[in-house]
Amino acid sequence: MSEQIKLSKISTRAPKGIDKDETKGKTLAILQELDELQNLMFAERKHALLVVIQGMDASGKDGLIKDVFGSLNPQGVKVQSFKTPTEEEAAHDFLWRIHKNTPEKGMIQLFNRSHYEDVLITRVHGWCDDKTAKRRIDAINNFEQLLEENATHVIKLYLHVSHEEQRKRLEERLEIPRKMWKYNQSDLAESELWEAYMKYYETVFKKCDSVPWHIIPADQNWYKSYLVATIIRDTLRAFKMEYPELKE
C-alpha cells in the first residue's frame, strides 16, 4: 500500500521554468506519435487501454478528452461518461455498468468519471457507509487486477486543480453563454464539500494503488495535456507492438 498522499501539499501547477509554448510544441509532436501508435494498436489487436479520468467538477476532464484524444482515429477510441446510475444500473452491483464498458483488444476506452465515484461522492454524502466502502475498495482492486491479467492496461488519472481555480471556472459557467450549459446548481454546493472530497480521494490513492494513480497538476490545461499525452505515449510504446503479417 502507498504512503498517505496529502493533496494540499501537491502543486496544481507546472514547475517554475517550464515554458508554455515550448511545452505545447512538444505535446503536438507526442500527439503525432500517439496517432501512429494507436493505428498500430488497432491493427495488432493484442492490447486494450482503459483510461480512468477522475477529478473534481471543472477540473478539465472534458477538455482533456478533446485535447489529447480528439486527434486520434475515432474508430479506435470510445468514451463513456458515468453519471447518476439509471434505475437498471442501480439494480445491479456497482461494477456492472463499468464492466460492460471495458475495451476490447485494439481499443482505447476513456472513462469520464468511473467506479471510483462509488467510493467518493457516495461517501461524501453518507450514501455509503465505511463497511460498504471497504468492500467496494476490495472489489475495485480485484476488478482492476482481472483487467490487467487480460491485456487491458489501466491508466488512472486524477486531475488535480486547486479549490481557487475550480471556483474561478465554475463562476465562468455562470457568466460565459457558451459555457452555461455545463452549469449545474449542485456544483457550488459540491464545491463547499471540498475538504471531504480531498479526504476520500486520499483514501482511494492509498487503498487502490496496485494499479498506480497519476496525480496531474491541472490548473493549466497546456501542462495537464502534455503530462497525460506523455503517459499514454509511454504506455503504448512499452507494448512493443508490430503490424501483423499477411493472414494466410
Q: Applying CB under 8 A, does 172 fall inside the site for a copy of itself?
A: no
Instruction: Mention every residue, 6+ apart, whose C-beta is less than 8 A from residue 246.
Output: none
Residue of 66, 14, 54 lying closest to 218 (CA atoms): 14
Furthest-apart CA atoms within the chain: distance in Å? 62
37 neighbors 72 (Cβ within 8 angstroms) = no
Task: Tell which one of 31, 51, 65, 124 touches a copy of itself (CB under 8 A).
Answer: 65
Percent of residues in the chain assigned helix, strand, coil, to nearest 5: 55, 15, 35
Exposure string of 51-77, with b = 16+ CB inside 10 Å and e = fewer, is: bbbbbbbbbbbebbbebbbeebeeebb
The nearest distance, CB 243 to a copy of itself, in angstroms, is 6
Q: Point out which span in 12-20, 25-33, 68-76, 135-143 binds a copy of itself (CB under 8 A).
A: 68-76
8 neighbors 198 (Cβ within 8 angstroms) = yes
What is the C-alpha radius of gyration for the chain, rounded to an integer number of angstroms? 18
Task: Tell which one of 43, 147, 188, 211 touches a copy of itself (CB under 8 A).
Answer: 43
Task: Tell which one of 72, 119, 128, 154 touches a copy of itself (CB under 8 A).
Answer: 72
Q: List strand residue ranges (DSSP E) for the chain, in order.
A: 48-55, 77-81, 108-112, 152-160, 213-217
The nearest distance, CB 224 to a copy of itself, in angstroms, is 16
Q: Which triple of cell numbers denotes residue 226?
A: 502534455
Q: Point out which span in 122-130, 140-148, 157-165, 182-190 binds a copy of itself (CB under 8 A).
A: 182-190
Query: Which 214-243 positions form the footprint of a copy of itself (CB under 8 A)?
Result: 243
Q: Applying CB under 8 A, does 28 fall inside the site for a copy of itself?
A: no
Task: Tell which one of 7, 13, 23, 79 touches a copy of itself (CB under 8 A).
Answer: 79
Q: Applying CB under 8 A, does 192 fall inside the site for a copy of itself?
A: no
Binding mask 87-116 for a copy of itself (x = CB under 8 A): -----------------------x-x----
Q: Applying CB under 8 A, does 69 fall inside the site for a copy of itself?
A: yes
List residues binding a copy of itself (CB under 8 A).
43-44, 62, 65-66, 69-75, 77-79, 81, 110, 112, 174, 177-178, 180-185, 243-248
